Amino acid sequence: MIEHEATETLDVTGQNCPMPVVKTKQRIDDLDPGEVLEVLATDPGSMSDVAGWADTTDGVELLGQEEGEDVFTHYVRKTE
């Protein structure tokens, strides 16, 4: 299990693509640089979607992802 000190938690369980990424972007925009957003999703596609979004978006860093039994957890840091 990955432990990151999350500043905020965003619950997008029950929402399918593209909403986990859309909501993550909206919430990360409200954070200060250095803060970490924990995203809880039930869409298996969120694993690749969030990773792809973080890779192609300036100002964010994907710290890690966890695949749970029913929930996928993503940790995204705002870098700028």
Catalytic residue among 17, 19, 40, 47: 17
CA distance 31 to 9: 12
Q: Spell out the residues 6+ positions from residue 62 whose beta carbon is closer than 8 angstroms to its own.
A: 50, 51, 54, 55, 74, 75, 76
Active site residue 17: yes
Point out the residues that are catalytic: 17
